[in-house]
Amino acid sequence: MDNWRQEGKTRVMTVMDHLRGPWPSFSLELWPPRTPQASARLSTAIPQLVDLKPTFVSITYGAGGSTRERTHELVVELASTQGILPFAHLSCAAHSVAELREILARYLRAGVTNIVALRGDPPLASDLPLPDGELLFASQLVDLIKGCGPFTVAVAAHPEGHPQSKDLSEDLHHFCEKLDKADFAITQFFFRAETYFEFIDKVRSQNIDKPILPGIIAPTSISSLVKMSELSGAVIPQALRDALMGASSDPHTLRKVGVEAAISLARELLEGGVPGIHVYSMNSTASTVEIREAIKEFYPSGRDSAS
């Protein structure tokens, strides 16, 4: 497939060009705001994020589509007014095929052609599972998306195994089947660089060479981190757990510990030659800016992650 798209008389690089290019990408994830106060904070933060010139920004999709409209609005706003390339998360749990087709059609009408295809996780605040939709697996959603238009599709990777998987070799097989249909993958967060590189070796042994972006997080809440780790399958190293617990009484120190851990991991990954860094920002602009500043040496002078 031709990785160039035509806009007027100017040829513009696509995400896939960036991910296979000589410089690492830099991307991040945002949550659609749920309150007027959160919306105001995000509106203030967006210009700072634009200044980081991210390759793309992914926008989450609440459990069972609970943020469907807010996700759509934020994606379209970023695409049409902010000059940021958004990837809209879309999950198939609790959705009919007709609903999914309509969501995709709305994105196409708005000129949005980048999707992160997910099965969907239950909400952090609940122990109840999400009801199944008509599509049971993210790989089926990828097929649907690709059949609905010229979409670029990313999928999720679980380097330490999907938490619902009982067999790691079978989990790897299913992931490779899914990635083979998609364009690239973004990993769930993890805390050891070896976790990523060992996973990549396993995927490459299956003759899959599509880009896999490592996802990192700067944890600032012990309870939220534990819950998200349970959902994603990530293992929290005891040293990091102890450091976070030791700083838990002071929010400033806790954030510093989390950011420093993320920076250390990002640098180790970039030194190992990863195609880019994807930051699970938790909508924390300050942390994201600190991480990007700390790894700027990996982006040659005069270039950046979106150049």
CA distances (Å), 155 to each of 48, 87, 140, in order?
Answer: 27, 11, 11
Annotation marks residue 230 as catalytic: no
Residue with tokens 């513009």: 12
Secondary structure of the chain in the HEC alphabet? CCCEEEECCEEEECHHHHHCCCCCEEEEEECCCCCHHHHHHHHHHHHHHHHCCCCEEEECCCHHHCCHHHHHHHHHHHHHHHCCCEEEEEECCCCCHHHHHHHHHHHHHCCCCEEEEECCCCCCCCCCCCCCCCCCCHHHHHHHHHHHCCCEEEEEECCCCCCCCCCHHHHHHHHHHHHHHCCEEEEEECCCHHHHHHHHHHHHCCCCCCCEEEEEECCCCHHHHHHHHHHHCCCCCHHHHHHHHHCCCCHHHHHHHHHHHHHHHHHHHHHCCCCEEEEECCCCHHHHHHHHHHCHHHCCCCCCCCC
Cα distances (Å, whole numbers) of residue 45 to 40, 52, 178, 252, 289? 9, 11, 34, 19, 11
Q: Which residue of the set 7, 29, 102, 271 is catalytic?
A: 29
Sorted by sequence, the CB contacts under 8 Å of residue 258 that are 6+ apart come out as 217, 218, 219, 220, 244, 287
Residues assigned a catalytic role: 29
